[in-house]
Homo-oligomer: A and B are copies of this chain.
């Protein structure tokens, strides 16, 4: 396939190969999970046993030691060829565990105690720890969470509501961002809580057009008491800073891969199906209208793969460039802009590719039992991925290009 994303590192190759080995079984279970509107536990068992779920765990602790963002993206593309819901769900855990692996390595490099992190990473390896994450609430954006941690004598009391908490039904832990105000100011903070924390109440309310097996229910935080140490400051509430920009960009960029994977799968499906079909007396593949349509889909695919790959490589280069020196906030906005450009092109392109696959295949792809119908619903989730919404992306990209730096 033209411009297909390829492993950039040895660890990436192992991860992507492992993901590849799961495609068939993911695809096989996808229709049923979609019908049941349930996240599929077998898929997660496979992700754990194949090593994909713990790909970021360092080699010395038994993981693949994945490091490259580009390879992470390709892993998600690969999984989504089997099932989009599963791909976006495991991406949550990959994002958080990447952070933990980096923290482990930094701590170790400083010669400090790593037992706690080591333990957690091994639990990720074994599947005892399964982490979901969310930064979404109704009526606000990532920078302005309304869920708030209010200091009390035991630490903080958290109240609020998180939505789109993908993978939460299978998770043991949940990472999230919060607001916290104190004498020093109005803070953007983060925390990670066990799912069985009192007051943390999953709502079992996920019932969407697509991505039905992603378990993206909402979770209520109802007087959740946490200790003082459970909160980590990220910056000022409502304001971009370098770290928040970098993490929001690289943690969400792989999600874009899920929609490319769905599109690739839909396109392949249509091409395979029509390869032996006739319409009236003509082989379908010899119809010039079909050839034009397929040509257009191929161009879109080439374009989506190329820009996603370029964004992945740019991100890896950015991280390498700033491994020891901090990044100016303008450069972080440029990184975010690259992610946004890739997201814009791929999200829209993927929807179009799936729709063209439906055109090429004809009416049978519109029946509910057909995988293409599910893919058409799943792929529409792409534009909702955070940040920025389709109503925000062009303006943001334009501002960054014009040097009109967004502060929020």
B401 near A383 with CB under 8 A, answer no
B368 near A209 with CB under 8 A, answer yes
A305 near B310 with CB under 8 A, answer yes
Q: How far is the CB of A39 from chain B (nearest CB, A)?
A: 16
A394 near B302 with CB under 8 A, answer no
Residue of B nearest to A360 (CB): B391
Determine chain A's interface SS by DSSP, over half rule: helix
State which residues 353-408 of A face B: CB under 8 Å: 355, 358-360, 362-364, 366-369, 373, 376-377, 380-381, 383-384, 389-399, 401-404
Of the residues B293, B359, B395, contact of A398 by C-beta under 8 Å:
B293
Chain B residues with CB under 8 Å of A359's CB are 383, 389-391
This chain's copy number in the assembly: 4
CA distance A287 to B294 in the complex (A): 18
Of the residues B298, B305, B397, contact of A299 by C-beta under 8 Å:
B397
B397 near A295 with CB under 8 A, answer yes
B289 near A394 with CB under 8 A, answer yes
Residue of B nearest to A373 (CB): B209
A interface residues, Cβ below 8 angstroms from B: 2-3, 136, 138-141, 144, 163-164, 207-210, 238, 271, 275, 277-280, 285-299, 302-303, 305-307, 309-311, 314, 334, 337-338, 341-342, 344-345, 351, 355, 358-360, 362-364, 366-369, 373, 376-377, 380-381, 383-384, 389-399, 401-404
